[in-house]
Structure 1
Amino acid sequence: MLAINHAEYVGDYRIRLSFNDGREGIANLEKTLFHDKRPIFSNLKEKSNFRAFKLDHGTIVWPNELDLAPEYLFYLVFKEDDRYREQFRQWGYE
């Protein structure tokens, strides 16, 4: 099961992630936050709120109780890598 072992804010709406399989990279969540109109994303547009995430149960969680699936975060990190294209299709991200 995919999980996040480490998460570090690196600026703007980007988070450096280390996954339990040894892979790591930077997820840019700007598009997610500004294009998803659900209210739970609204307060995370303020960068001080966005930076307030913590690692819990293998993913990142914010104080407003929003969490994102590690698979989605993996997709954000590696979406340009053709090696994972089939996996992303299976997960429903492409």
Structure 2
Amino acid sequence: MHWNVVEAHVLEPGRFKVKFAGGLEGTVRFAPSAYRGVFAKLRDPAAFSQLYINDYFVTWPGEIDLAPDAMHQHIQESGEWLLQ
């Protein structure tokens, strides 16, 4: 699928760059309000830095992941996905 994530790396706490199988690249940024629920632990820069790719998903330990299709759509529209 063109929205499968093939590369991802942290740029700074709360922000990472992603590349999809179709060649699209962009960034994902967490607004302060996004750190709630399952994402609360990612407020810690050490936890956020543990980002990795698992089966084409951007993932963190503890089964935290982001939907690649939604990420792709937002990045295709504006170059960035701001999670709020």
Q: Which TM class, normalised by the smaller chain length?
A: 0.7 to 0.9
Alignment of 1:35 with 2:34, yes or no, is yes
Bigger relative contact order (CA 8 A; separation at least 6): 2
Q: Which is higher, the Rg of structure 1 or of structure 2?
A: 1
More strand by share: 2
Identity rate of aligned residues, in percent?
22
Where has structure 1 moved over 6 Å in runs of 4 or more? Answer: none
Give the direction of change, closer, same or farther, for the CA distance of 1:17–1:8 in structure 2 (3 Å limit).
same
More helix by share: 1
Name the counterpart of 1:55: 53
Query: Do the aligned partners of 1:14 and 1:26 also contact (CA within 8 Å) in 2?
Result: yes
CA distance in 2, matches of 1:56, 1:75: 20
Q: Give the partner amino acid of 2:8.
A: A
Could you state the TM-score of these two structures normalised by the residue count of structure 1?
0.71
Alignment RMSD, CA only? 1.9
Query: Do the aligned partners of 1:55 and 1:61 also contact (CA within 8 Å) in 2?
Result: yes
Q: Which runs of 5+ in 2 are unaligned?
A: 80-84
String of CA shifts for 1:51-76, please: whole Å, max 9, x gaps: 10111100111111111111222244
